[in-house]
Amino acid sequence: MKMLTTTMVSAVALTLAIGAAEARNAPGVTAKEIKIGNTNPYSGPAAAYSAIAKAIGACFDMQNGEGGVNGRQINFISVDDGYSPPRTVEQTRKLVEREKVAFLFQGLGTPTNSAVHTYMNKKKVPQLFVATGATKWGDPKNFPWTMGWQPNYQSEGIAYARYLLENNPDAKIGILYQNDDYGKDYVHGLENGLGAKAASMIIARESFEVTDPTVDSPIVNLKNSGADTFYNISTPKFAAQAIAKNFELNWAPLHLLNSVSNSIGSVVSKAGFEKGQGMISAAYLMDPTDPEWKSHDEYKAWNAWMDEYYPDGDKADSFTVLGYSACKTMIHVLENAGDDLSRENIMAQAASMKNYRAPMLLPGIKINTSASDFYPIEQWQLMRLKGEGWERFGDIIDGAVGSGS
Amino acid sequence: MDLFIEQTVSGLATGAIYACLALAVVMIYQAIDHFNFAQGEMAMFSTYIAWYLMDDAGLGLPFWVAFVACIVLSFIGGAAIERIVFAPISDAPVLSHIIVFIALFSMFNSLAGFLFDFTPKNFETPFGHTPFIDGVISSHRVGMIAVTLILLGLIYAFFRFTPIGLAMRAAAASPESARLVGVRVGFMLALGWGLAASVGAVAGMLIAPITFLTPDMMLGTLLYGFAGAVVGGLTSPLGAVIGGFMVGILENWMGTFVVGSQLKLTVALVLIIVVLLVKPAGLLGRVVVKRV
Amino acid sequence: MTSTQVNGNVPAFLNENPKDRIVVLGVPLPLLERVGLFVLLAAVVVLPMVYDGYDIYEFGKILMYMLAVLGLNLLTGFNGQFSLGHSAFFAVGAYSTAIMMDQLGMPYWTTIIPAAAVCFVAGFLFGLPALRLDGLFLALATFALAIATPQLLKYDGIAHLTGGVQGIVLDTPYPPAWIDSIVMSITGEELSVDRWKYMFTAFVAVIMFAGAWNLVHSRTGRALIAIRDNPLSAKTMGINLAMFKSSAFGVSAMYTGVAGSLFAIMDEYLAPESFTFAEAIKFLVGGVVGGIASLFGAIFGGWFVLEIPNIADLVASSLADYINNPQGLTGLIYGLFLIFTVYVMPMGAAGLVQILVHRISTKR
């Protein structure tokens, strides 16, 4: 009898809670304001990424200047986690429980987001558009409150694999990868894309650590392995080193450069254009240093925004484009949510984008999500370095990883 | 070409990086009987100053002007750090000094990122990046090895032939006795810090054209620099240079033929411990007899 | 450079005889200390009744860091050996617990003691070669250890155990049913996981703290201090130097390792990025700022390492009116804090308290 009462009481409480949640906005939402939390490495080894959060802050500043979202100002609270997972837990809990933010947006890093993955989903607080390309963020069945934004690393690997299978099925591939989740995800992507041929086509793998001074030694090994295709999975500094080192060694394989480091301004021009001719890479965002976009309306808007709201920012840094584009996506979702700013509805809106074009995406690339598809951007276009810019070629490629499944 | 030879040459080139830094480590060790865990970050910051002096986005000075100016500024900066930060706590326990090193580490790292942002910067080299031996080694790396050797000669001569060098050793090893024989210990310490900062600056300016200039360029590198200095002997500049080259080559050999690329840092760790245990004075270092 | 210089003066409260004669405001010092311990214990017990959620989580973390710092204090403060590499033992403890839970399916509370044993052995073994290294060289060797640790954790050869670059996600440590029902019957509320995590951490921390207290005040403890202060005469008095020093390293690693275990249980997730050089620095900073030869100091140190980044953050953000994007300056402010602390209290917070006690005390 007692148990029955308890069950009934809790059932009633549950109904009430659900009813209340539907009617009530998320914490952090008032008639005038939406509080959004974010963790980013402003200090420590990954501090280069903080440019993303700074850009997002500047982008929300612009939006607030233009009247905010549906009359509400965005209060973007971005805190430092130093790329240290335990610190991310502390900061995230503080944002959620003390600052009472409505949700988290563009938290940076795979290990850091992993550390709060369970917490956010237990608390039912949206962990939206995390700034990492790991594949695990698109798992609505087990983690319905978490969603990525950028195309995942594996899908890019698949794009290169398809290119190789079509154009050079006998390629002998040598892989240079950063020894962390990001590097390994790229390797998996390529392996998946090559399928049964992976074992015969990949003939050498060399890893390096972010603390290594140079990548010279692994490259010497790759060259000596007899590889004719070089799959380069490294962050900007090491990518530039690798381009220069290949040139120094007179090694001229087909160079597949991961998109993390394909910025003309901060990588390719630094290494030297002549050293990287013919490299192939993939992109989903416009490169701000590519002259092709100078006359594009979205570029002009981005450029004007940089001048006015983020004058300290580096215009050659593609992170500013990423932050800007992700911020615009967030604004789009909030606008669609209208006045129902419950966490459920914000999540539902994020999971029902149809052919949305965030500014600065490459022409032809669209954002699509559904209740079973938590991968907002899944498209790539390949491009080849020619002269002082990238020349895009071929169709927009759909990354197959986990689309829907 | 044979993989073994190529890895050896490549290790020699990387070893030059470690050798440069190991020289700076020896310099500071001679001056204060200490490691400076912030040395890498100080060198990195000096390099940013040089970059600012010569880059078009900064002052646009010619390379050699910026090079000399950077060395002078680093000297002043290093001496100033000793006078302002360390002089007041000269009597504090060693641990307090280590905490201050950590503080400096954090401050320079943070300041560099704040002032110059984090995108990799190109650092000019007067030697160019043309092939020296085609497909094997570039002109910059040869230039770097040459500068390292010149630096070695200067430091050796400084300690061997000038009275200041000797006085500096005395001030570091035994401040009390040095004071009694008329050595101005405070001045010597500041001088040592200044010189170490200058050597660090040269190392940074030689390394940056290869690794590209970023605020985090020195964290891992410093460990190898320490390893080089320890292997060669902390009291011997020549030993440090040889040690640096050895670490570079050994790292490549181990990484390629023995343990694989995933354990290269561990190799440096084991090397440090083994050398410290088996031959604490390093290859060429003096054995210091301690009075108990 | 000998290890004697590590920490010049022996903290007054370790010399049993003189201390007994010190009277502070009419109260004998040993009594005052005991009262202090009691108040602290009471606070630790009362906290979960008052706080929940993020707050109690933070208190739990302070206790966890307190243990980690305590480990370093036992080594450096009481035995005169340096370590810049205690993040490695923190990692060994955390991964031991995680692997036992993840691979062997052991309940979280059963993993503490085996993890402590593993860490003791790891520390003891590292302590053997470390024996022969003088203070500064030991600092260098442990610095190298700290830098190499994340790479070792990721190594493919052990990735099936450690989860490699992905790390390990752990199950939530729910309170046992009987505790839950006791709490339920008293308060009428269910015990929250956060509160339980804190209680579990506090339970372990209090036991370990008491153990350290007894150790330091025992014959063994005095032997350790004797080794720190004068290794040669300690040897002539028949103290087995090698055994004691290696064991001290083992015990130290065990304390920091248990902190690691508690960390894994508390955060339910670990990855190589959680055990970087920065973590080792944290412990050292906590130890020195608290007072490296003081058990009370470790508590302050635990609080300091958790809160100081927040304070640095706050200071940086307050500069927003004058500087663009001041958050990049957090590291600079943190560094200034450290230097300031070393200037103001070169012997740490405990040293400062000692000086104050000295000022207002009288001798009987």
CATH (domain of B32)? 1.10.3470
Q: Which residue has the higher pLDDT, C113 or B285?
A: C113
- Determine, yes or no, domain membership for B202: yes
Closest CA to B122 of B17, B208, B206, B201: B208
Q: Are residues A252 and A393 in the same domain?
A: yes
- Determine, yes or no, domain membership for A405: no
DSSP string, C266-298: HHSEE-GGGGSHHHHHHHHHHHHHH-TT-HHHH
Q: Are residues A389 and A242 in the same domain?
A: yes
> Beta strands of B55-176 (E only): which ranges?
131-133, 137-138
Note which residues in 146-185 of chain B have CB less than 8 A from chain A: none
Nearest to A184 among C165, C325, C327 (CB): C165
- For the ranges A171-185, A189-203, C325-339, the lowest mean pLDDT is seen at C325-339
Q: Which residues pair with A108 in a beta bridge?
A: A131
What pLDDT shows up at residue C12?
44
> Is C335's Cβ below 8 Å from some Cβ in A?
no
What pLDDT shows up at residue B42?
95
Q: How far apart are the C-alpha atoms of C325 and C322, rounded to whole Å?
A: 10
Q: Are residues A216 and A314 in the same domain?
A: no
- Model confidence at B288: pLDDT above 60: no
- Model confidence at B187: pLDDT above 50: yes
Q: Do B223 and C147 touch (CB under 8 A)?
A: yes
Nearest CA distance, B85 vs chain C (angstrom): 8
Q: How far apart are the C-alpha atoms of C164 and C157, rounded to whole Å?
A: 9
Nearest CA distance, A22 vs chain B (angstrom): 44
Q: Do A111 and C272 touch (CB under 8 A)?
A: yes
Rg (C-alpha) for chain B, rounded Å, is 19
What pLDDT shows up at residue A6?
47
Q: Do A213 and B129 touch (CB under 8 A)?
A: no
> Is A206's Cβ below 8 Å from some Cβ in B?
yes
Q: Do A112 and C278 touch (CB under 8 A)?
A: no
- Token couple for A103: 């949700």
Q: Are residues A257 and A389 in the same domain?
A: yes
CB of A61 within 8 A of CB of A305?
Answer: no
Q: Which domains, from first to last, does chain C contain?
A: 3-363 (1.10.3470)
> Is A314's Cβ below 8 Å from some Cβ in B?
yes
Note which residues in 206-245 of chain C have CB less than 8 A from chain A: none
Q: How far apart are the C-alpha atoms of C317 and C311, rounded to whole Å?
A: 10
Q: Do A209 and B265 touch (CB under 8 A)?
A: yes
Interface probe with C: pick from B90, B106, B222, most Cβ of C within 10 Å = B106
Closest CA to A257 of A74, A384, A368: A384
List CB contacts (< 8 A) between A249 and chain B: 135-136
Q: Which amino acid makes up residue C78?
A: F
Q: In what order do the strands lie in the sheet with C361-363?
A: C27-28, C22-24, C361-363
- Determine, yes or no, domain membership for A290: no
- Model confidence at A15: pLDDT above 60: no
List CB contacts (< 8 A) between B280 and chain C: 132-133, 137
- Determine, yes or no, domain membership for B255: yes
Please count the structural domains in chain B.
1
Q: How far apart are the C-alpha atoms of A249 and B131, rounded to whole Å?
A: 9
- Determine, yes or no, domain membership for B109: yes
Q: What are phi and psi of A349, to 5 degrees?
A: -65, -40
Q: Are residues A99 and A126 in the same domain?
A: yes
Q: Which parts of chain C sit beneath pLDDT 70? A: 1-22, 24-25, 362-364
Q: Are residues A74 and A174 in the same domain?
A: no
C-alpha dihedral sign at B42, B48, B53, B58: negative
Q: Which residue has the higher pLDDT, B267 or C195?
A: C195
List CB contacts (< 8 A) between B11 and chain A: 217
- Token couple for A196: 């049964």
Q: How far apart are the C-alpha atoms of B206 and B46, rounded to whole Å?
A: 12
- Determine, yes or no, domain membership for A117: yes
- For the ranges A19-28, B101-110, B144-153, C147-156, the lowest mean pLDDT is seen at A19-28
Nearest CA distance, C30 vs chain A (angstrom): 37
- Model confidence at A359: pLDDT above 90: yes
Q: How far apart are the C-alpha atoms of B86 and C211, rounded to whole Å?
A: 37
- DSSP 3-state assignment of C46? helix
CATH number at residue A208: 3.40.50.2300
Return all residues near B198 (Cβ < 8 A) that are at least 6 apart: B71, B72, B74, B75, B78
Report pLDDT digits (tens) over A112-170. 999 999 999 999 999 999 999 888 898 999 999 999 999 989 989 999 999 999 999 99
Q: Do C267 and A114 touch (CB under 8 A)?
A: no
- Determine, yes or no, domain membership for B283: no
- Determine, yes or no, domain membership for B288: no
Alpha helices by DSSP H, listed for C73-171, are 78-79, 86-102, 112-130, 135-154, 159-162
What pLDDT shows up at residue A352?
93
CA B43 to chain CA centroid, Å, is 8
Note which residues in 24-83 of chain B have CB less than 8 A from chain A: none
CA closest to A211 among chain C residues? C147
> Is A111's Cβ below 8 Å from some Cβ in C?
yes
Whether the complex's predicted ipTM is more than 0.95 is answered with no
Q: Are residues A143 and A162 in the same domain?
A: no
> Is B121's Cβ below 8 Å from some Cβ in A?
yes
Q: Which domain holds residue A111?
A: 24-151+296-374
Confidence of residue B164 (pLDDT cuts 50, 70, 90): confident
Q: Which domain holds residue B89?
A: 3-278
Q: How far apart are the C-alpha atoms of B159 and B152, rounded to whole Å?
A: 11
Nearest to C274 among A85, A183, A211 (CB): A85
> Is A6's Cβ below 8 Å from some Cβ in C?
no
CB of B30 within 8 A of CB of B235?
Answer: yes
Q: Which residues pair with A384 in a beta bridge?
A: A280, A391
Q: Do B280 and C144 touch (CB under 8 A)?
A: no
- Token couple for C229: 């202060």
What pLDDT shows up at residue A20?
45
List CB contacts (< 8 A) between B113 and chain A: 43, 47
Average pLDDT over residues B275-286: 77
What pLDDT shows up at residue A107?
94
B112-116: Cβ within 8 A, 24+ apart? B112/B41, B112/B44, B112/B45, B112/B48, B112/B215, B113/A43, B113/A47, B113/B215, B113/C328, B113/C331, B114/C325, B114/C328, B114/C329, B114/C332, B115/B48, B116/B48, B116/B51, B116/B52, B116/B215
Q: Are residues A258 and A342 in the same domain?
A: no
Average pLDDT over residues A211-238: 91
Q: Are residues A160 and A279 in the same domain?
A: yes
> Is B256's Cβ below 8 Å from some Cβ in A?
yes
User: How would you write B145-196 as a 3-class SS string?
Assistant: HHHHHHHHHHHHHHHHHCHHHHHHHHHHHCHHHHHHCCCCHHHHHHHHHHHH
- Model confidence at A335: pLDDT above 70: yes
- Model confidence at A11: pLDDT above 60: no
Please count the structural domains in chain A.
2
DSSP annotation of C175 reads: P
What pLDDT shows up at residue B35?
84
Q: How far apart are the C-alpha atoms of A124 and A342, rounded to whole Å?
A: 11
- Determine, yes or no, domain membership for B292: no
Q: Are residues A258 and A190 in the same domain?
A: yes
Chains that touch C (3 or more CB pairs under 8 A): A, B
Residue indicated by tokens 């085996």: C114
- Model confidence at B261: pLDDT above 80: no
Determine what percent of chain B is predicted with pLDDT higher than 90. Answer: 33
CB of A230 within 8 A of CB of A174?
Answer: yes
List CB contacts (< 8 A) between C151 and chain B: 262-266
Report pLDDT digits (tens) over A286-307. 988 888 899 999 999 999 999 9
What pLDDT shows up at residue B292?
43
Q: Do C145 and B277 touch (CB under 8 A)?
A: no
What pLDDT shows up at residue A103?
95
> Is A170's Cβ below 8 Å from some Cβ in B?
no
Alpha helices by DSSP H, listed for A24-109, are 50-65, 85-93
How many other CB atoms are found less than 10 A from the CB of residue B169? Answer: 19
- Determine, yes or no, domain membership for B286: no
Per mean pLDDT, which of A385-389, B48-52, C348-352 is the most reliable?
A: B48-52
Chains that touch A (3 or more CB pairs under 8 A): B, C
CA A74 to chain CA centroid, Å, is 22
Distances (CA, A) of C193 to C45, C51, C196: 16, 12, 5
Q: Are residues A146 and A157 in the same domain?
A: no
How do the residues of chain C divide into helix, strand and coil, expressed in percent and rounded to 5?
80, 5, 20
Average pLDDT over residues B94-100: 85
Note which residues in 52-81 of chain C have CB less than 8 A from chain A: 53-54, 57-58, 61
Return all residues near A199 (Cβ < 8 A) that are at least 6 apart: none
List CB contacts (< 8 A) between B121 and chain A: 270
Q: Do B106 and C334 touch (CB under 8 A)?
A: yes
CB of B226 within 8 A of CB of B24?
Answer: no
What pLDDT shows up at residue C3?
38
The pTM of the full predicted model, rounded to 2 decimals, is: 0.88
List CB contacts (< 8 A) between B276 and chain C: 132-133, 137, 140-141
Q: Are residues A196 and A71 in the same domain?
A: no
Strands C361-363 and C22-24: antiparallel
> Is C259's Cβ below 8 Å from some Cβ in A?
no
Tell me whether residue B150 is exposed, middle or buried, using C-beta atoms within 10 angstroms of its C-beta: 0 to 12, 13 to 18, 19 or more.
exposed
